[in-house]
Amino acid sequence: MENIGILHPGEMGSSIAWNAQISGHTLFWVSDGRSPETRMRAEKLSLTETKSLEELVQNCSILISVCPPHAAEEVAGQVCTTSFQGLYADLNAISPQRAVCIGEMMQSHGIIFVDGGIIGGPAWKPGDTWLHLSGSEAQSVAGLFSGGPLQTEVIGDEIGKASALKMCFAAYTKGSTALLCAILAAAEGLDVRRELEQQWSSDGSNFAEQTRQRVTRVTAKAWRFSGEMEEIAATFSETGLPGGFHQAAAEIYSRMADFKNQPSPPDLAEVLSALLNRS
């Protein structure tokens, strides 16, 4: 049984912490600088509070990072300024080359690094969420979640492989949604949206209705998809493939960023106005 620190218990991170917790481990968090929502999530799960990162690392032999892509280096860098000498798992949606860089930084500070990528939503139920892991100590991380619904899979020894898989998977799910957002907005701007939806329905499918729902529902999460799309664009460019699909997707999601935290999905007309920069 291990003492594990979670950086940080957001919506996804708290579900990951819970999976380790019900597998018998003790979970710690750092309250300094976190939001009231994060405190609520941590208290609901009875995670053990520490006041500072230094206090956290003195209690924990394993740290797990679950944060927005842009913050991955910052969180890892802060850990490197402490006395931590244990195992650090980065589960963030970052490009494989960034995972490699963070791994090298960690290693140079005597920290063991494991690369991870999460596919699916928060892991409260079986069949919803996959955690892929790579690195020499990947199996140790996978073992932490044996008692929870989170499905873990070790896919190799190489740092970057788990991140690469995450990038490729999200490239289609979030990339095709962004493409549909752009298409509906273009059709609206060109005054052919009704005709496009009619054509989509000509095979008797409900693709038109599904698309309208997909576009309005993604608005709530769009603010944090933009950074992930930039990671995918970088991944593609590094691999010699065009990054333009996901640079465009990043732009689409950033135009919808203001819909963050709306209690219910906005009207389609409102979303299309935002996409067309008409709002």
Q: Which residues sit at the interface with a copy of itself, rule CB under 8 A?
A: 96, 119, 130, 132, 153, 155, 160-161, 164-165, 167-169, 171-172, 175-176, 178-180, 182-183, 185-187, 189-192, 195-196, 199-200, 202, 235-236, 239-245, 247-249, 251-252, 275-277
134 - beta bridge partners? 115
Which is nearer to a copy of itself, 76 or 184 (by Cβ)? Answer: 184
Measured from the CB atom, the residue of 5 and 117 that comes closer to a copy of itself is: 117
The minimum distance between CB 88 and a copy of itself, in angstroms, equals 22
Q: What is Dmax (Cα atoms) for the chain?
A: 64
- The Cα 150–Cα 125 span in angstroms is 8
Sheet holding 48-50, edge to edge: 48-50, 26-30, 3-7, 62-65, 87-90, 112-120, 129-134, 151-154
- Residues 198/207, Cβ–Cβ less than 8 Å: no
Of 64 and 250, nearer to a copy of itself (C-beta) is 250
Residue 19 beta carbon to a copy of itself: minimum distance, rounded to whole angstroms: 18
Q: How far apart are the C-alpha atoms of 189 and 181, rounded to whole Å?
A: 12
Give kind and range of the element (H or E) at residue 154: strand 151-154
Residues with Cβ within 8 Å of 17's Cβ and at least 6 positions away in sequence, in order, are 4, 6, 9, 27, 29, 45, 47, 64
Q: Which is nearer to a copy of itself, 61 or 176 (CB)?
A: 176
Cis peptide before 8 (omega within 30 of 0): yes
Q: How far is the CB of 206 from a copy of itself (least distance, A)?
A: 15
Least spacing, CB of residue 136 vs a copy of itself, in Å: 17
Q: Which lies closer to a copy of itself via its Cβ, residue 6 or residue 215?
A: 215
The CB-of-258 to a copy of itself minimum distance in angstroms stands at 17
